[in-house]
Amino acid sequence: MPRPTDIRIAVIVAVIQIGGTLGAYHHGAHGQRGCWWASSCRVPKPLDALAFVLLALGPLALVVRRAYPRAVLLAVFALTLVYVALGYLQGPGYASLVVAFVATAVSGHRVAAAATLLAGWVLFLWVPAALGITGAPTVLALFAIAAWLLLLFTGAEALRARKLRVVEARRARERAARRRADEERLQIARELHDVLAHNISLINVQSGVALHLIDQQPEQARIALSAINDASADALREVRSVLGVLRGTGEEPPRTPPAGMARLDELVSRAASAGIDVSLVRHGRPRPLPTSVDLAAFRIVQESLTNVVRHASARAARVQISYLDGELKLQIDDDGRGEGAPTTRGGGHGIAGMRERAVALGGELAAGPGPDGGFRVRARLPVDGAR
């Protein structure tokens, strides 16, 4: 389907070719004065119906030049050559051929465009001479027209290079947009992993306790079920918060506070409800943290406690938060099974995710067996310059 721009260009070229040729003919731009490139020439043939058909078909073909650039160039070349060979007045009749040539060169068919240019230089000068319409072209005309054609080719190449730069810039923007989207999806996946792994681990532990105690100690089972209810509700709230970036226009934002160090006591309490004796120690004066550091620190503690509940067979865990000048340090120890490579606990994904969070902020994270047994996670997160 032709574009409106292509139709407009075809109409403009038709006006130039037909109107310009008519104006030049009626103002006497014919005869000896109309063939400066040759030693002599006949009076141009009067414009008739065939001349107007040839002048109109060239612009008409330009409508589909984007889809068939080489075919359009060949067709316009042939139409223009027939027009010249019949002895009509030359001049504006080359407009459609120039547009077709530029379109072909810009579309990347450089060999076809260059071959057409060379063939035109020879044929449009020597065919009229061979048919007796003009005399042989002068040496000056040969070089002058060659220079003009070279200038035309250079201009077409400049347009092609500009088009390539525009296309590459658009592709670079698209790649950057896809990269940002991938980073957002990865961030959402990390958040969902942290939220669901922690809360579902607690639900799993508490549901096992409830099943074990429901017949002998129903009151204790009720406490476990209450903890399950709280953990599931909290998981749903956090999932809504994490997926808030995917909300459509007009939807309400999440009403719960985002995850961060302000909710650390709540996180420790939920881990304690799973039967782990968790102690929380803060060193230094707590202060507001950049959003990225605040969230990363919370998720690292959350993932560490999740691993304690799921994999460590621990009875106690100790969380230490140190507010230092320019950085935040985290240390989480447990008294469970600490042997093995650091990446074995949790299948490697949890610790890898924690390390990626720390490194992304310019910090570091180490995880492995503690000096006195158990397992230790240590992280350092720079605060200055973080956002």
Taking a C-beta distance cutoff of 8 angstroms, is the pair 102, 142 a contact? no
Taking a C-beta distance cutoff of 8 angstroms, is the pair 89, 25 a contact? yes
CB count in 10 Å sphere of residue 188: 15
Length of the chain equals 387
Task: Determine the average pLDDT of the residues in 261-272.
Answer: 83
Residue 173's pLDDT band, with cuts at 50, 70 and 90, is: confident
Look at residue 188 in the predicted model and tell me its pLDDT. Answer: 65
Poorest-confidence range of 144-153, 232-241, 255-264, 291-300? 232-241
Task: Determine the average pLDDT of the residues in 358-380.
Answer: 89
The C-alpha torsion from 122 through 101 and 94 to 39, rounded to 10°, is -20
Look at residue 373 in the predicted model and tell me its pLDDT. Answer: 82
**Which of 20-34, 131-145, 171-185, 265-279 has the largest mean confidence?**
131-145
Residue 191's pLDDT band, with cuts at 50, 70 and 90, is: low
**Rounded Cα distance, 243 and 96, in Å:** 56
Chosen domain end from 103, 137, 171:
137
Angle between helical axes of 69-85 and 110-130 (0-180°, round to 10): 10
Q: Residue 324 in 3-state DSSP? A: strand
Number of domains making up the chain: 2
Chosen domain end from 86, 107, 137:
137
Residue 199's pLDDT band, with cuts at 50, 70 and 90, is: low
CA 354 to chain centre: 27
Task: Determine the average pLDDT of the residues in 8-27.
Answer: 85
CATH code: domain of residue 356: 3.30.565.10
Task: Determine the average pLDDT of the residues in 3-18.
Answer: 90
Task: Determine the average pLDDT of the residues in 111-135.
Answer: 90
- Model confidence pLDDT, tens digit, residues 39-60: 777 888 888 999 999 999 999 9
Task: Look up the domain containing 43 and give its range.
Answer: 4-137
Mean pLDDT of all residues in the chain?
80
- Model confidence pLDDT, tens digit, residues 202-235: 666 666 666 666 666 666 666 666 766 666 666 6
**Rounded Cα distance, 273 and 267, in Å:** 10
Chosen domain end from 115, 137, 159:
137
Is 387 among the domain residues? yes
